[in-house]
A and B are shown apart, each in its own frame.
Chain A
Amino acid sequence: MTAGAGATVRLRGVHRTFGHGRAAVHALRGVDLDVAPGELVALVGRSGSGKTTLLNVVGGLDRPDEGSVLVDGTEVATLTEDGQDELRRERVAFVFQTFGLIPELTAAENVGLPLRLHEAPAAQRERRVELLLELVGLTAHALQRPDELSGGQQQRVAIARALAASPRLLVADEPTGQLDSETGLSVMALIRGVVEAEGMTALVATHDPVMIALADRAVHLVDGLLVEDVGHG
């Protein structure tokens, strides 16, 4: 577990427990983790090991019961609800296994949504959306709705949307979980590529060995404990 003073993500002694008493589930039990700027870290572990909980805590979707979570220098654990909203709007972007697209919006509208949340001027927004759709190879599908796209296309739209507001941190939860291996591979390559191109930090929960191989390093979660931190060559 490397610690760095300039880390984009720094977790110290993070605990998160769901439920009470005998029914309590200890999802995170004193996790320490640093992710350096521009680093792509794969978060590996079995189902129920706490990966998603860790990502939620980092992304401001959940609060730790105990410990410190610094994201881009901001203590996330003590943020108000509005502060968490701002964190997600300004600095953290998400990619979900279920894509998380809004089915009523077109691909272009989904991609432009973070920019609308920034109230970016329409012309600027349109240019950025066009650019991102081109980046993910979906210019021709800009006006299609999610249910008219394949799984891989939907995930690429989700990635484009995640990049739209130029976040500092990309949090991805099993981004290839619902994709076939070929599509998954292209999505993984895309994530690797945009992380490098945009210079952002990424924390990706995955089971996929290819994704793990593409990451700068992988950390293992077992029963809420970060038991291993493996760097890659």
Chain B
Amino acid sequence: MTTGWRAARADLWPLLVTMLVVALTVGITVAVPTRLGERADTAVRTAVALADPPADLVVTSTYGPGNSDATADATDTTSSVDDAARAMVAAMPRSLRPVLGPPTAAASSTELGISTARLPAGGVLWMTYLWAGHEPAVRWVSGAAPGRPGDDGAVQLGLSEAVAQSLGVSAGDAVQTIKPDRSVVPVLVTGVFEALDPHDPVWAARPEVLRPTVGGPSTAPTTLVAGLLSAASLPAARAALEADGVTRTFRFPVDAQALDHEHSAALVRQLAALEASPDVLHAPGPAPRVTTQLDALLTQAGERVAATWSQATVLLAGLAGGALLVLLVAADLLARRRSEALRTVRARGATLAGIAGRAAAESAVVVGLGAAVGVMVGLLAAPGPVTWVWVGLVAVVGVLAPPSFAAWTAARSEARRVSTDRHQRRLARRVRTVRRAAFEIALLVLAVAALAALRRRGAVSASGPADLVLAAAPVLVAAAGALVLWRAVPPLLGGVLRVARGSRRAGPLLAVARARSTSAALPFVALVVVASLAVLCGALAGTARAGQSAGSWDAVGADALVRTTTPDPSLQVLAKTVAGADGVEAAAAGRVQARSQLFGVPGVDEVRVLAVDPATYETLLSRTPFGAAPELAVLSDASQAATTGAAPGRLPALVAADLLGSRPSLRWGDVTIDLDPVGTVPALPAATPDGAPAGATVVVDRAALAAVVTAVATERARRTGGTPPRAGQAVADPNTVWVVGPGAAAAARTASAESGGLVLARTQWLADHRSDPLVSGLLMLVALVAAACAGLAVLVVVLDAAASAPGRGRSLATARVLGLRRHDAARVAVGELVPPTLVAALGGTVLGVVLAGAIVAPLALRLVTGQSGNPAVAVPWWALMPAVLLAATVLVVVAVESTSRRRESLGQVLRVR
């Protein structure tokens, strides 16, 4: 034990390096899964909290025809609505209870037509009973709460002040409402109320009770209002609306904060079961229905989490692979430092097993301490369960590597002396070559197979963690590439050595000769691998960042976007207004119609139609990364005739290249128009504002579209004797305004404040996307792994330099004895260490960039960038820093070595040891 402790103390720093590498790797692999788990929970909660429409679980139930009784009192309502809600709460499956809030119940009539003096064009009215543990709290401004019908038999209804005002009625007024079958339902407005708490969730079931809204196309808007029934007035309303004109909805809000990723899958299964068998809830009525977005949202979020896990696994596998190689380098260094001692104990009769056992005992202590520190640091950084698989992998290699190298070194020392027999030397060389070639070919085949599988299947799995072999593909490819590169090093150095031999000076010869004889495959491969992983991570981070920016252009299409849910001619005015605002370079209005039917082209059924003013849109595009689009000028020229033509003709269109020469037809509203492909679609936003792929796109001139559609509709009316379309009828009104310029977002917000259009700013999209918990978490991991790999690369350089330091020291001391100047000796050291390091670093850089290109698609980086397609690889300048960092490390190592040698007496260096 004492001897072991002395040996450990003598080689303290390689042991400390081993401990550091183990601690670093274990720390990261312990902390990352927990941190990702937290982010997964946040992602699930955010997805549910921001869902639009909300993720509420809704039970819908009718009463069934003929089940009403106009004379029934409030108890009928209490039992059919209030008590039914309570019963469902009691029957709710246990796993769903923590995530669902208390229900809001509503019994709402079918849409009833209503027209008043204030609303001569008519509107839509719902009569609604609301309950959320109680009826909504109101103050009756005039009149009283509705009750059972009076002698007139009219359904009694209360109205909010806003609704009463929009209808122009007051308490005591009678109004006629029209059922879908055109029969009349008389209604008496018994009172006008004010909500005591307008934000009470109970109102959310039918917001039109408090606020009239306007729906329908802008050319024919419809006012939508609702009146409030009481428990006492609902039975009469049900009777008046027979058959079955009242529907009950029980809305259970979802508490997003009660959700987590771990239990999502179980929840999804439970929700699916509930949707399939609503009877479980004891819901009333003949055919209750359970609907919710929650299962879809959880599934979607789960897939994103699984994808992020897969991506993280690839990164962690890379880090672990790099760390394992560094542990091997450290073990090799340890064995080299102890080679004399190992040779001695072997010569004294120690068995290889005994030597390995002693080394294993030491490494177990070192690795155990490192792992313990790593686990502690990991748990401090992210308290939670420990993923032992990574810890185990690192620990096993960390413990086994030193004894393996020690035994190998001891065994090799028996036949250490090079034979003077040329044939024996050649034979030994051949055996080594065959052994090495077999190993390298095996690794190469494994790496190629893993990469091929990764590219075919992708690293991202929506169902579970990534396959470890697939996840290790990058590190395997890096290792195989490093070995191939290593094959090139000896000939390269041999060539340089030939040049150095021709030189007059001693320095170049010494440097290259030492570099050639001391360069070892293991540290070289380790250096290439960790450098390539660092560069790979840098390239992935750069690609993600550039891709996110490109994704923002794809989703928004400009610096800002104004959208309306229905086409609105006022957007043309808005576009002109915005175009003149400060900081706006261009603005264009257009109609974006997703999923329009296309006929006559095999394989393409639906397209996105972009109806724009070609000239304006071209100007706008030229100020975006999509660039100039001369195709739009072609479209504009071709559309001139169609715009002015009175007879129905073909509509010029820009289409996908493979549709050129075809004769497609487009369904637009209730007409079908023939398209005339005149060119290919230029580079355009490839996604919808919500990030979904836009798919195939057809671009047409908006004016030409309107003219052709009108001409086709007129011709059809002439043929069929129908009503021809009105002149100026809005068939191609815009629903989108794109704005470009530094002031685009502000100008769009200001201009759209009155129109009610939705504004989406590209910078906001980008900020939202980048702050997404999974995206930001993954990018942080990328940065962490890049930094860790860069650190490991520095360690490899230091370890490799330390391994060759004694030999370098002796050779340089000999040369110094012969008269080599001290600073020339330092140059020789630099010349020895820098070329292999630079070759490894630059080779690693190239490998890293190539790997990035190879795995961007299978790694599904588009999920990080938000693009519909795979992002283009973008290598930021700082991703190339490892080469500079490693060269600087060599200079520091040489400076330290040189300083320490200054204290050595040359006379002592060459004495018998």
Contacts and interface: CB of A to CB of B under 8 A. Distances in A.
A53 to B, nearest CB: 7
B818 A103 contact: no
Interface in A89-138: 89-90, 93-94, 96-98, 100-105, 109, 113-114, 116-117, 119-122, 125
Given A56-B907, A122-B502, A101 B814 contact: yes
Contact of B518 (A62, A102, A104): A104
A87 B906 CA distance: 14
A102 B819 contact: no
Contacts of A59: 817, 907
A150 interface: yes
A94 B910 CA distance: 11
Interface stretch (B66-74, B151-159, B503-511): B503-511
Contact of B514 (A98, A104, A150): A104
Interface in B372-418: 417-418
Interface stretch (A29-37, A78-86, A195-203): A78-86
Contacts of B501: 109
B903 to A, nearest CB: 13
B811 A85 contact: no
Nearest to A101: B814
Nearest to B501: A109
A65 interface: no
B99 to A, nearest CB: 71
A86 B821 CA distance: 8
Interface in B615-655: none
Contacts of A117: 506, 815, 818-820
Interface in B491-543: 501-506, 509-510, 513-514, 516-518
B814 A56 contact: no
B911 interface: yes
Given A61-B905, A116-B505, A119-B504, A109 B513 contact: yes
A122 B502 CA distance: 7
Contact of A97 (B420, B516, B912): B912
A52 B817 CA distance: 14
Nearest to A146: B418
A161 B818 CA distance: 9
Contacts of B509: 105, 109, 113, 116
Given A96-B910, A98-B912, A121-B504, A148 B420 contact: yes
A101 B810 CA distance: 9
Contacts of A56: 905-907
Contacts of B420: 148-150
B807 interface: yes
Given A62-B905, A122-B502, A114 B818 contact: yes
B145 to A, nearest CB: 103
A177 interface: yes
A90 B821 CA distance: 13
A161 B506 CA distance: 14
B816 interface: yes
A62 B906 CA distance: 8
A199 B814 CA distance: 25
Contacts of A228: none
B907 A102 contact: no
Interface string B799-831: 000000001000100111111111000000000
A159 B222 CA distance: 110
Contacts of A82: 821
B504 A94 contact: no
Contacts of B517: 103-104
A61 B907 contact: yes
A61 B821 contact: no
B818 to A, nearest CB: 5
A89 to B, nearest CB: 3
A65 to B, nearest CB: 13
Q: Which of A61, A97, A177 has the most chain B CB atoms closer than 10 A to its own CB?
A: A61
Given A96-B910, A104-B811, A88 B818 contact: yes
A53 B816 contact: no
Given A86-B819, A114-B818, A53 B504 contact: no
B876 to A, nearest CB: 40
Nearest to A88: B819
A89 B820 CA distance: 8
A42 to B, nearest CB: 19
Contact of A116 (B506, B906, B913): B506
B418 A53 contact: no
Contacts of A87: 819
A88 B821 CA distance: 10
Nearest to A81: B822
A55 B907 CA distance: 9
A17 to B, nearest CB: 13
A100 B910 contact: yes
Given A88-B817, A97-B912, A103-B517, A116 B504 contact: yes
Contacts of B907: 52-53, 55-56, 59, 61-62
A82 B817 CA distance: 12
Given A52-B911, A61-B906, A62-B907, A85 B821 contact: yes
Contacts of A178: 912
Contacts of B504: 116, 119-122, 125
Interface string B597-621: 0000000000000000000000000
B819 A100 contact: no
A62 B135 CA distance: 104
A145 B778 CA distance: 53
Contacts of B821: 82, 85
B912 A102 contact: no
Interface string B108-149: 000000000000000000000000000000000000000000
Interface string A48-90: 0000110110010110000000000000000001100111111
A114 B814 contact: no
A86 B819 CA distance: 6
B137 to A, nearest CB: 93
Contacts of A52: 907, 911
Given A90-B819, A114-B819, A102 B905 contact: no
A209 B259 CA distance: 94
Contact of B513 (A85, A104, A149, A150): A104
A103 B514 CA distance: 9
B818 A113 contact: yes
A119 to B, nearest CB: 5
B814 A148 contact: no
A128 B418 CA distance: 29
A88 B819 CA distance: 5
Most buried by B among A59, A113, A147: A113
Residue of A93, A116, A148, A149 with highest tally of chain B CB at under 10 A? A116
B368 to A, nearest CB: 39
A128 B678 CA distance: 83
B418 A147 contact: yes
A166 to B, nearest CB: 13
Nearest to B907: A56
Interface in B581-596: none
Nearest to A92: B819
A114 B820 CA distance: 9
Interface string A174-216: 0001100000000000000000000000000000000000000
26 contacts: A55-B907, A61-B817, A62-B905, A62-B906, A85-B816, A85-B821, A87-B819, A93-B818, A97-B912, A98-B912, A102-B513, A102-B814, A103-B517, A103-B811, A104-B517, A104-B811, A109-B501, A109-B509, A116-B504, A117-B506, A117-B815, A117-B820, A119-B504, A122-B502, A125-B504, A147-B418
Given A104-B811, A122-B502, 12 more contacts: A56-B906, A56-B907, A61-B817, A61-B907, A90-B819, A98-B910, A98-B911, A103-B807, A117-B820, A122-B503, A177-B912, A178-B912
Interface of A: 52-53, 55-56, 59, 61-62, 81-82, 85-90, 93-94, 96-98, 100-105, 109, 113-114, 116-117, 119-122, 125, 147-150, 161, 177-178
Query: Which 4 A-B pairs have CB atoms at the shortest separation, nearest pair first?
Result: A89-B819, A56-B907, A116-B506, A61-B907
